[in-house]
């Protein structure tokens, strides 16, 4: 699980209601997050969804975000704070677990990597170590991409309303 917190202060070109900011933010997030549930409220609401393409084998992350919009319409300033967490999607965990156990099963065969040998050696262990490190880094990367999507959405809100 990875904690996410992103904040952006927007100097508005003209007074904008919190409902308009919410609609624009949700429209930006729908491009990268498949939103399953949005709670009611204009200035404080919750978004739950998943990242990753539904056409691919796995989803990337499940996200649970609390969004707070505050500001002063007279001063033409708005602050958007997004905090929450992203955790690996169940399909991603199942896929990598299955792939790892399949490699372990194949690794039981003598000389998995070096087929000319009668037994498994250190190069086989190194192969499994490298594959495990790849899984850890890939999952962490997929969780970190959610923060980048949020920062991009807030930047485009700043461009649209600022």
Write down the pLDDT at residue 117: 60
Sequence-distant (6+) residues with CB within 8 A of 86 are 1, 2, 4, 51, 61, 62, 63, 143, 146, 147
pLDDT at 110: 64
How many other β-carbons are positioned within 10 Å of the β-carbon of residue 90? 12
Q: Which two tokens stand for residue 145?
A: 């991409």
Gap between the Cα atoms of 155 and 152, Å rounded: 5
Q: What tens digit of pLDDT does each residue of 118-162 get?
A: 666 677 678 778 888 999 999 998 888 889 989 999 999 888 887
Q: Which CATH number fits domain 2-161: 3.40.190, 3.30.530, 3.40.50, 2.20.130?
A: 3.30.530
* pLDDT (tens digit per residue) in 47-106: 999 888 777 777 888 999 999 998 876 778 889 999 999 999 888 899 999 988 888 777
In the prediction, which pLDDT does 3 show?
Answer: 92
User: β-strand 44-51 against 61-72: which pairing, if any?
Assistant: antiparallel
pTM for the model stands at: 0.79
Chain length of the chain = 162
Angle at 93 between CA 38 and CA 140, to 5 degrees: 75
């Amino acid at each position: 699980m990875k904690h996410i917190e992103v904040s952006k202060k927007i100097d508005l070109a003209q007074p904008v209601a919190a409902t308009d900011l919410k609609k624009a933010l949700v429209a930006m997030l729908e491009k990268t997050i498949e939103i399953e549930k949005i709670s009611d409220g204009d200035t404080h609401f919750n978004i739950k969804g998943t990242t990753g393409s539904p056409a691919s084998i796995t989803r990337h992350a499940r996200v649970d975000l609390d969004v707070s919009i505050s500001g002063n319409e007279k001063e033409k300033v708005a602050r958007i704070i997004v905090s929450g967490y992203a955790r690996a999607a169940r399909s991603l965990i199942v896929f990598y677990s299955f792939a790892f156990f399949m490699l372990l099963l194949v690794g039981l065969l003598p000389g998995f990597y070096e087929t000319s040998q009668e037994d498994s050696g250190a190069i086989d262990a190194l192969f499994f170590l490298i594959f495990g490190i790849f899984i850890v880094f890939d999952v962490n990367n997929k969780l970190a991409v959610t923060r980048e999507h949020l920062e991009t959405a807030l930047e485009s809100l700043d461009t649209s309303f600022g």
